[in-house]
Structure 1
Amino acid sequence: MSILFMFLILFALLVIGVPVAVSLGVASLIFIIMEGMPSIVVLHNMVNGVNSFTLIAIPFFILAGHLMNTGGITNRIFAFARSLVGWMPGGLGHVNVGASVIFAGMSGAAVADAGGLGNVEIKAMKDAGYDTDFSVGITAASSTIGPIIPPSLPLVIYGVMADTSIGQLFAAGLVPGLLMAFALMIMVSWFAKIRNYPKDDHFSVRILWATFKRACLPLMTPVIIVGGIATGIFTPTEAAVAAVAYSMFLGMYVYRTLSFKSLIRVSQETIETTASILMIVATSTIFAWILTANQFATFFAEQLLTFTENKVMILLIITVMVLIIGCFMETIAAITILVPVLLPVAVQIGIDPVHFGIILILNLMLGLLTPPVGMVLYVLAKVSETPFERCVMATAPFLIPLVSVLLLLTFIPAISMWLPTLLYR
């Protein structure tokens, strides 16, 4: 009964607009007081929750993404993607997806993708005569590729919560991310056909080579990160540090677009973002500890298995549950709350924790495209000066290919597990 009361307090606080970290902490503290435990347990678990070497990767990956945006590197990426796939029907739609795939290997966050590339992409598409709805919709949908293709901030958080190899999670996200891009490009081609969207330009090897030369150094960022982790040169945490060092080198010494003043500004932004994420991690650690100590995950698994022992049905139930929660809860908070509850069930029915991580993160990414939370939609509404409700409707058709990929990944584990099996097992 106390566990149920704790959940009720948590959701009540979230509904009235209390920050997620505070809601988790208050709900957990009330439970601890009700159970007669010393309140020092709260501080002890909060400290232990963030006392992890792996979590050091979070501020560095965030900083790397900010540096890439501030250093004008997004324009070079967009120009290269434009010369690469802009010749296809609906060219700028394909460019939008291609640029997101490239930028995903640098930022690891959907909101960073939408905020960094979104302004460039939507303006270019509007100037070329594309509908605003289509421009906003494909920009929102393609931004969800960022947290799937390595590096990925949500996968780092999941790896810490699930005690799972970050390297394997990064490897598992590469093929699904490319599959998402392929599915979205099919959707773009369909829209281009029915709406008669133009090709951006004819394919030119000369232009492709020119834009590649301008973008080749930024394009090395994902190679350094993924290649370094895969070959064992450095850990995912060390890869984040390498990404920051490389981004600073490009912005300050190669392109000279990053001043000391802008470096201070992006550092402050990184500190603010990191602090909010780590507060959620810290308070959710208490919440997860309470659930584990009271064997809530075991109870949930027993109830679910009592309802059905069919693996397909359980996966569908979990998928629907996470999709709904993702509509109402911020990604990091959802990960920290759901992993202690759902992962034991997944393992019990034979799902690999790495495979489950990819399913969970993609589920929650779809929540970024749906109201009422929909952080990506809020960012793009501001960037495109389009009403939030219109952004919701514009994005809805692109949920079809993304949900299709989610179902494929859910029921065909080999898609996500092929690369980590090849590299690590």
Structure 2
Amino acid sequence: MAHAADDDFFAETQSEVIDARPGSRFMRPVEIVSAGLLILIVGLLLGGVFSRYVLSTPIFWIDEVVSIAFLWLAMLGSSIAIDRNEHLRLTVVLLALPPRARSFVETLALVLVGVVLASLLWPAIEHVQQEALVRSVSLGISLGYRASALPAGISLMGLTLAVSLWRSASSKDFGLSVLIVAVVGGLFWLVSDRLEDLGDLNILIFLVGFVGIFLLLGVPIAFCFGLGTLSFLLYSTYIPTVVMIGRMDEGMSSLILVSVPIFVLLGCVLDATGMGKAIVDFMASFLGHVKAGMSYVLLGSMFLVSGISGSKVSDMATVAPALFPEMKRRGHKPKEMIALLATGAAMADTVPPSIVLIVLGSIAGVSIASLFTSGFVIAMVLLIVLAILARWKARDEDMTGVQRPSLKLILRYSLVAAPVLLLPFLIRGAVGGGIATATEVSTIAVLYAMIIGIVLYGGIRPTKIYAMLVETAALSGAILVILGTASAMAWALTQTGFAGHIANQLTELPGGAFIYLLATILVFMILGCVLEGLPAIVLMAPLMFPIARQLGINDVHYSMVVVTAMNIGLMTPPIGIGFYIACKIGNVPPDEAMGAIWPYLLALLIGLLAIAAVPALTTAYL
């Protein structure tokens, strides 16, 4: 995969992409505008923080301008991601196909993406016309300027998709793909009257069956949700598709989500300046000389680095190259290192500033400050479980020639890492203490990281800064479009009454709250395998959280169970996407690493069951 994901995707996230490529020349103006929008957002937010906390004079119009710039950044960034082939998608099936079949399936996937874009363009224009009648509160300008980002972005994505098809697809594959899509679409149109009488069965056909097939074909996750929802609306309801655009707009527009691209940018700064390596060296100087020491260093580094970058992929890419050579020298098997890396990333995803926690707080209406406070403790529980297993596995580790570092060397590494180590505590303290919002803290963290990166860690070349801005725009666009289409799909599930039926079934489970928590673990582990974090949360949180509240389960406790279960699924082979990302970063074949990861996943599952059974682990510190 080119980035992350992960999420989350990352990117966070964090499905895999085949043959990611540098951007095309004709997209350079779009990249420049996107980089400028990101700078504008960061600058405005920093100005707002300074005005509010230093001058005690809030500037109310800043939020409106940021909202406009944010939606444009999301849509332009998504077009850049299409141009670079960086949209998050499942590629397990594609990788197993012979080259000729893979070429055809990839062409078919691109044609299906084109169907989504073509179907949404006119509804997006209608949405602009509706929004143009509304004026913003502070600036008094038409909201049509903001909503225009949707048709503009869809048009740009369509253009880049057409260029990609022209470059990579054979005329035979393209013609056959168009024919298949037209025939299948026509057949469903002919029987649409009968489909309307099937009721909830249409949910299984379109929002489960279609989406599952598209995922297996390698269609990017955002467009899988878009295709499923569009098919459902067109073939089984009379609901106009402009409603879907409205739900997408709403799903991408929360100001809390502005912190997502900023934390992605923070992860880029971390990588570019070598701050992550400073943390790894610091941990190694303290623990590297004891048995299982390098395993402790890997886990501890993942924990600390995650508190800065907020991205699992960024964490793994920072830690693995710095530690794997020494771990190999001490006799660690590559498959064991990958297993520890992957499960360490799953453990660290609750460490603030977790993009997954930010999105979950936005979707489910849970305090992000409480999630950050609790997430730190929950990650510690999982860290201890993994460390115990790592120590047992290292009982025969070769410690020949390993020496305790001198006090002078430890002091030097500590001084080098000290400015970086302040950053995660700055983030956690400011958000957890209610001093600033997650969005405000993210901008302060970027400014702090840029300053110490330039002053203390060798600086960043101007060309590198530009590349980081464009990379952030592309990854953020890919993430936010997933949130938009997943929000539309979640709305469709809710409006049909299907969500209510599921809620009734779940509330009737015997055993009360704990059985519901076990069902939640199963659901999110399965979804984590297939969908990755962010879309799974957007789809299921509106359905699952109200039931949890009805059963008396604390929101923050339930959030920790959801996120941990989802991350275990993300790293579970043979489907878990995060597992393959870890294998790629560590350059170890998945088949080799697959057998080694199960004990570590079992350790995480034991930790998760303890978290579910003991709410105080989550709530005692709130």
On the 8 A contact 1:150/1:174 being kept in 2, the answer is yes
Instruction: State the match for 1:12 in structure 2.
Output: 213
Aligned ranges 1:90-109 → 2 under 5 Å? 90-109=292-311
On the 8 A contact 2:520/2:562 being kept in 1, the answer is no
Aligned ranges 1:83-122 → 2 under 5 Å? 83-122=285-324
On the 8 A contact 2:330/2:398 being kept in 1, the answer is no
The separation in 1 between residues aligned to 2:595 and 2:465, in whole angstroms, is 37
What letter matches 2:204 in structure 1?
L
On the 8 A contact 1:166/1:236 being kept in 2, the answer is yes
Instruction: State the match for 2:539 in structure 1.
Output: 337
On the 8 A contact 2:529/2:577 being kept in 1, the answer is no
On the 8 A contact 1:145/1:177 being kept in 2, the answer is yes
What letter matches 1:48 in structure 2?
E
Instruction: State the match for 2:29 in structure 1.
Output: none
What letter matches 2:445 in structure 1?
A
- In structure 1, the residue corresponding to 2:595 is in which secondary structure? helix
Aligned ranges 1:8-407 → 2 under 5 Å? 8-33=209-234, 34-195=236-397, 200-202=402-404, 204-407=406-609
On the 8 A contact 1:159/1:166 being kept in 2, the answer is yes
The separation in 1 between residues aligned to 2:354 and 2:300, in whole angstroms, is 18
On the 8 A contact 1:225/1:240 being kept in 2, the answer is yes
On the 8 A contact 2:369/2:434 being kept in 1, the answer is no
Structure 1 residue 195: deviation in Å? 4.5
On the 8 A contact 2:330/2:399 being kept in 1, the answer is no
Change (3 A) 1:300 1:199: farther
- In structure 1, the residue corresponding to 2:460 is in which secondary structure? coil
- In structure 2, the residue corresponding to 1:144 is in which secondary structure? helix
The separation in 1 between residues aligned to 2:290 and 2:371, in whole angstroms, is 33
Q: Deviations over 1:80-100 (max 9, x none)?
A: 001122232121111111111
The separation in 2 between residues aligned to 1:5 and 1:375, in whole angstroms, is 24
Structure 1 residue 134: deviation in Å? 2.2
Structure 1 residue 397: deviation in Å? 1.8
Q: Relative contact order (C-alpha < 8 Å, sep 6+): which is higher? A: 1
On the 8 A contact 1:296/1:341 being kept in 2, the answer is no
Change (3 A) 1:383 1:69: same
On the 8 A contact 1:80/1:215 being kept in 2, the answer is yes
Higher Cα Rg: structure 1 or 2? Answer: 2
On the 8 A contact 2:292/2:397 being kept in 1, the answer is no
Change (3 A) 1:66 1:198: farther
The separation in 2 between residues aligned to 1:200 and 1:297, in whole angstroms, is 58
On the 8 A contact 2:294/2:327 being kept in 1, the answer is yes
What letter matches 2:229 in structure 1?
S
Structure 1 residue 32: deviation in Å? 2.1
The separation in 2 between residues aligned to 1:154 and 1:118, in whole angstroms, is 22
The separation in 2 between residues aligned to 1:293 and 1:200, in whole angstroms, is 63
Q: Deviations over 1:364-423 (max 9, x none)?
A: 11122222443333233223321111122222221122111111111111101122x2xx
Change (3 A) 1:55 1:192: same
The separation in 2 between residues aligned to 1:293 and 1:205, in whole angstroms, is 64
TM-score normalised by L of structure 2: 0.65
On the 8 A contact 1:381/1:391 being kept in 2, the answer is yes
The separation in 2 between residues aligned to 1:180 and 1:109, in whole angstroms, is 18
* RMSD (CA atoms): 1.8
The separation in 2 between residues aligned to 1:365 and 1:198, in whole angstroms, is 36
Structure 1 residue 165: deviation in Å? 1.3
What letter matches 1:412 in structure 2?
V
Change (3 A) 1:200 1:249: farther
Equivalent pairs counted in the alignment come to: 420
Structure 1 residue 170: deviation in Å? 0.9
Q: Deviations over 1:338-368 (max 9, x none)?
A: 2122222222211112111111111111122
The separation in 2 between residues aligned to 1:318 and 1:232, in whole angstroms, is 30
Gaps of 5+ in 1: none
The separation in 1 between residues aligned to 2:281 and 2:332, in whole angstroms, is 18
Change (3 A) 1:307 1:175: closer
Gaps of 5+ in 2: 1-199
The separation in 2 between residues aligned to 1:258 and 1:43, in whole angstroms, is 39
Change (3 A) 1:320 1:247: same
Identity %: 28
- In structure 2, the residue corresponding to 1:22 is in which secondary structure? helix
The separation in 2 between residues aligned to 1:200 and 1:243, in whole angstroms, is 37
The separation in 1 between residues aligned to 2:469 and 2:595, in whole angstroms, is 35
The separation in 1 between residues aligned to 2:459 and 2:580, in whole angstroms, is 28
